Amino acid sequence: MTNNNRQLIVNRGFSLLEMVIYVAIMALIMVVVVNTIIVMIFSQKRIENLRTIEHSAAVAMERLTRELREASSIDLGQSILGSHPGKMVINVIDENNNPQTIEFYLEGQTFVIEESNIGTSSPLIDPGARVTNLIFYSPTASSSRAVRIEMSIEAGQGQFLKSETFYNAVLLRNSN
């Protein structure tokens, strides 16, 4: 065998040291990739929970605000003010000039609305959201009625649990 042939045989494969280095580099790259994927999945879950909370709060507060602004009065006898779980019962006049009541309250941890002309309750929050605190306050002024609302909503479980508290104040426009 010539010297050139020996050199070709020796240079054909990888040495053990080269293989160990390549495997270590690939393992490091895989750890970084897997860690990035895990962080992205966790972030996605947290964002989904936050989106559920924000959407639930927007829908619930918007409907509550709209109905309160158009209410003629608050039924203080049936409403539960200043404590959790709160209940708001308002008197309204519908489009046919008929009196009706609208109730906002918790059914378990679901915020619901019940209209007297319909008779059944409808949820105002997403199925994945839970209301953990609902308090209505009714500070009185000399010539108007106002309602202050405090609502805490949570979504998710375990390390993905997110919770937010929302506040709103509404002035009843049609109150006497």
In a domain, 119, yes or no: yes
Q: Residue 4's pLDDT is what?
A: 59
What CA–CA distance (Å, rounded) separates 147 from 40?
Answer: 41
Q: How many domains does the chain have?
A: 1
In a domain, 61, yes or no: yes
pLDDT tens digits along 94-111: 888 888 999 999 999 999
Instruction: Give the helix ranges, DSSP H, for the chain.
Output: 3-10, 16-70
In a domain, 24, yes or no: no
pLDDT tens digits along 23-43: 999 999 999 999 999 999 999
In a domain, 5, yes or no: no
What CA–CA distance (Å, rounded) separates 29 from 27?
Answer: 5
Q: How many CA atoms lie within 13 A of 77 on its CB side?
A: 2
In a domain, 127, yes or no: yes
Instruction: Give the domain range for residue 110.
Output: 35-171
Q: What is the pLDDT along the chain (176 residues), one digit of tens a residue?
A: 555 555 555 556 778 888 899 999 999 999 999 999 999 999 999 999 999 999 999 999 999 999 998 888 888 888 888 888 999 998 988 888 888 999 999 999 999 999 887 778 899 999 999 999 999 998 765 455 788 999 999 999 888 889 999 999 988 876 65
In a domain, 42, yes or no: yes
DSSP state of 72: S
Any idea how long the chain is? 176
Q: Residue 142's pLDDT is what?
A: 44
In a domain, 18, yes or no: no
CA 14 from chain center: how many Å?
Answer: 56
